[in-house]
Amino acid sequence: MDSSWSSDTSQAILLPGPKRFRISSETVKFFRSSWNRTDVLPSYSGNIMKPFLDLIIFNIQLARSLGLVGSALLSVNYFATVAILRAVTPAFGRLAAVEARLEGEYRAGVARVGRESEEIA
């Protein structure tokens, strides 16, 4: 093998026939990074499909062990619990907005007191 083919700065692609191409290491890095980005897409489908498949298998096994009536009553229990929690839990977004408004008013008041105290002194 020719020593020029094992260079650190470039890699060679051997094609059938007499033609040989040299590719710089920057080009190889670019294509490897783009290949890594394309590997992300299948992982998203796996991250979505696996929990969905687990849910289906869990519900099938639950229906086999409890029966359809037991599964239906358990589902009603889940939905009732969600409704109760939504009714009892405060709206955290609204509370955060009120907190931000009150903090803004407080800071404006403190700044106004500081300004007016300088005018008095």
6 within domain boundaries: yes
Task: Give the confidence band of 83 by pLDDT, cuts at 50, 70, 90.
Answer: very high
Total-model pTM: 0.38
Q: Is residue 116 part of a domain?
A: no
Q: How many angstroms separate the CA atoms of 69 and 77, rounded?
A: 12
Which range marks the domain in which residue 11 is found? 1-38
Question: Is residue 111 in a domain?
Answer: no
Whether the per-residue pLDDT at 42 is higher than 70: the answer is: no
Whether residue 90 is contained in a domain is answered as no
In a domain, 102, yes or no: no
Which run of H or of E encompasses 76? helix 40-88
The answer as to whether 30 is a domain residue is: yes
Number of neighbouring beta carbons within 10 Å of residue 62: 15
Residue 31 in tokens? 């294509």
Question: Has residue 93 got a pLDDT over 60?
Answer: yes
For residue 37, pLDDT beyond 60: no
User: Can you say how many angstroms the Cα of residue 83 is from the centroid of all Cα atoms in its chain?
Assistant: 27
Average pLDDT of span 72-85: 92
Look at residue 34 and tell me if it is in a domain.
Answer: yes
Residue 16, classed as helix, strand or coil, is coil
Residues whose CB is less than 8 angstroms from the CB of residue 24 and which lie 6 or more positions away in sequence, other chains included: 9, 10
Which residue, chain included where needed, has tokens 């099938």?
60
Count the domains in the chain.
1
Q: Which residue has the tokens 């109760």?
A: 84
Residue 92 lies in a domain: no
